[in-house]
């Protein structure tokens, strides 16, 4: 059976860089995405899905952009003349224009700061002991819901699931 990614990564729980809980950090500040996408399109022309996958790869899977972020940004970039769009095989392929290259060059320090900030965040997430905890919490959530679903008609066994969770919570509370 395929394991699901429930999205309970370190950023969900509010942990970053071993510094404990804090307000959830956004990967990109408002307006950053235009620079990120332009930098990706500088490498090679891509369609929207390829932009999303390239960004996910660049962040080593730590960030998965949504279509609701990428496609409106691509449209804005096209409206501003920073990218052009051509249709090939039923897909819109975006490529950077000379104006887009000039815009990237004019904002080189901003682009570098964005990618440095993201790289630091990724390094802290992947070097922390938190990924092990995250993986196990994900497994716990999956197994808990799977058991609750399968045992929905057996109150005694569902009670044992609750008891096991209570015991785990108490043990963790005692550690801290």
Q: Which CATH class is domain 10-128?
A: mainly alpha
Quote the DSSP letter at residue 21.
B
Alpha-carbon distance of 123 to 60, in angstroms, equals 10
Identify the pLDDT of residue 41.
93
pLDDT bin (cut points 50, 70, 90) of residue 69 is: confident
Rounded to two decimals, the pTM is: 0.56
- Lowest-pLDDT choice from 2-16, 21-35, 133-147: 2-16
Q: Other C-beta atoms within 10 Å of 36: how many?
A: 24
Is 2 a residue whose pLDDT tops 50? no
Q: Which structure tokens are listed for 11?
A: 């950023």
Alpha-carbon distance of 77 to 71, in angstroms, equals 10
- Lowest-pLDDT choice from 7-11, 76-80, 85-89: 7-11
Identify the pLDDT of residue 27.
66
Alpha-carbon distance of 128 to 146, in angstroms, equals 29
Beta strands in 23-171 (DSSP E): 46-47, 83-88, 91-96
What does the pLDDT average to over 134-150? Answer: 80
pLDDT bin (cut points 50, 70, 90) of residue 76 is: very high
- Lowest-pLDDT choice from 25-34, 64-73, 136-145, 148-157: 25-34
pLDDT bin (cut points 50, 70, 90) of residue 128 is: low
Identify the pLDDT of residue 73.
92
Cα 68 from chain centroid (whole Å):
13
The answer to whether the CB of 24 falls within 8 A of the CB of 14 is yes
Number of H helices, E strands in the chain: 8, 3
Average pLDDT, the chain: 79
- Look at residue 156 and give its three-state secondary structure: helix
Alpha-carbon distance of 97 to 81, in angstroms, equals 7
């Amino acid at each position: 059976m395929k394991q699901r990614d429930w999205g309970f990564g370190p950023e969900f729980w509010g942990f970053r860089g071993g510094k404990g809980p804090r307000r959830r950090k956004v990967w990109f500040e408002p307006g950053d995405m235009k620079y990120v996408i332009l930098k990706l399109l500088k490498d090679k022309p891509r369609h929207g899905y390829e932009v999303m996958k390239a960004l996910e790869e660049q962040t080593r899977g730590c960030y998965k952009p949504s279509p609701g972020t990428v496609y409106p940004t691509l449209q804005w970039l096209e409206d501003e003349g920073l990218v052009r769009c051509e249709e090939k095989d039923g897909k819109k392929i975006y490529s950077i224009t000379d104006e887009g290259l000039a815009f990237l060059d004019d904002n080189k320090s901003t682009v570098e700061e964005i990618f440095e900030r993201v790289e630091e965040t990724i390094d802290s997430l992947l070097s922390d002991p938190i990924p092990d905890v995250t993986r196990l919490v994900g497994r716990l959530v999956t197994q808990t819901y799977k058991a609750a679903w399968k045992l929905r008609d057996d109150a005694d066994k569902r009670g044992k699931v609750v008891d096991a969770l209570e015991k785990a919570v108490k043990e963790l509370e005692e550690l801290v």
